[in-house]
Amino acid sequence: TRTLVLDGVSKQFDTGTVALEDVDLTVGAGDFVSVVGPSGCGKSTLLRLASGLDAATTGSIEVNAHSTSYVFQEATLLEWRSALKNVELVGELSGGLRSERRAKAQEALDLVGLTGFEKQHPRQLSGGMRMRVSIARALVADPDLALFDEPFGALDEITRLHMQTELQKLFRLKEFAGLFITHSVSEAVYLSTRVLVMSGRPGRIVADIPIPWSYPRP
Ligand code: ADP
Ligand code: ADP
């Protein structure tokens, strides 16, 4: 499946800044693509266009996904809801049985290593744990396309290493199409099946590197 296809995409903001120029990119199911490059080269813009949060100026963007999830740099949780209820929220929007929603949310929290923390509210959790709730919430809907804007950027290094391992496990299990911004080249190589290198102003993709040894497909 060609889950995400960008063809000749450019983006110019109202301010006149051209953030992206002539970007061609295909991300399929089972591709976990990291995006690295200096600040201002258009990584976040690329992600926002892929998510539909923003529109391209020229070129075409095709998304063949039933659902898309977006994970921001900071965990964006509802403070008045418990961890479990934050994850359940996604199911509430799409309907279905309450018991099933709860079971799926519980499974997602288990997957990110938060068994036992279901009833805690966000402020009772550490930064790493909040990010894990955020990721559980993003993945509970079984998205075909998951977009990550530097989700581990604010974490301390130990938590970050832990989260890299967790995310890799989740990806192997779920086989979605992933686009993952990071400032860490080692994180990109460790996590991904491909690393995109962006550069310049306006930003362009200057390299698209397959990482064949990252992990065997099941
Ligand atoms: P990166 O994520 O690689 O740091 P961005 O995609 O955030 O880069 O930004 C790319 C360029 O577009 C930068 O020059 C930035 O200042 C500009 N830019 C980003 N968002 C906007 C916006 N909403 N309005 C105007 N310029 C923007
Ligand atoms: P941090 O983000 O602070 O580096 P982690 O998210 O990796 O930490 O959590 C480290 C461990 O600390 C967790 O596995 C958990 O056992 C414990 N912990 C952190 N916050 C809490 C809390 N609010 N209540 C109970 N245990 C916690």
pLDDT digits (tens, 9 = 90+) for 14-63: 999 999 999 999 999 999 999 999 999 999 999 999 999 899 999 999 99
Nearest CA to ligand 1 atom 20: 45
Contact (CB, 8 A) for 71 and 134: yes
pLDDT range class, residue 215, cuts 50, 70, 90: low
159 backbone dihedrals φ, ψ, rounded to 5°: -65, -35
Give SS3 for 103.
Answer: helix
CA-158 nearest atom, ligand 2: 4
User: How far, in Å, from the CA of 92 to the mean position of ligand 1?
Assistant: 34
pLDDT range class, residue 217, cuts 50, 70, 90: very low
Share of the chain above pLDDT 90, in %: 69
Res 81 pLDDT > 80:
yes
User: How far, in Å, from the CA of 105 to the mean position of ligand 1?
Assistant: 34
Any atom of ligand 2 within 6 Å of the Cβ of 1: no
pTM value is: 0.85
User: How far, in Å, from the CA of 117 to the mean position of ligand 1?
Assistant: 37
**Residue 122 preceded by cis peptide, ω within 30:** no
What order do you get walking across the sheet with 194-199 strand by strand? 68-71, 145-149, 177-181, 32-36, 194-199, 204-210
Segment 101-127 shows an average pLDDT of 93
Q: Which pLDDT belongs to residue 50?
A: 96
Segment 116-133 shows an average pLDDT of 94
Q: Residue with structure tokens 């295909």?
A: 26
pLDDT digits (tens, 9 = 90+) for 130-166: 989 999 998 888 899 999 999 998 888 888 888 888 8
Beta strand extents in 68-144 (DSSP E only): 68-71
- How many CB atoms neighbour CB 173 within 10 A? 11
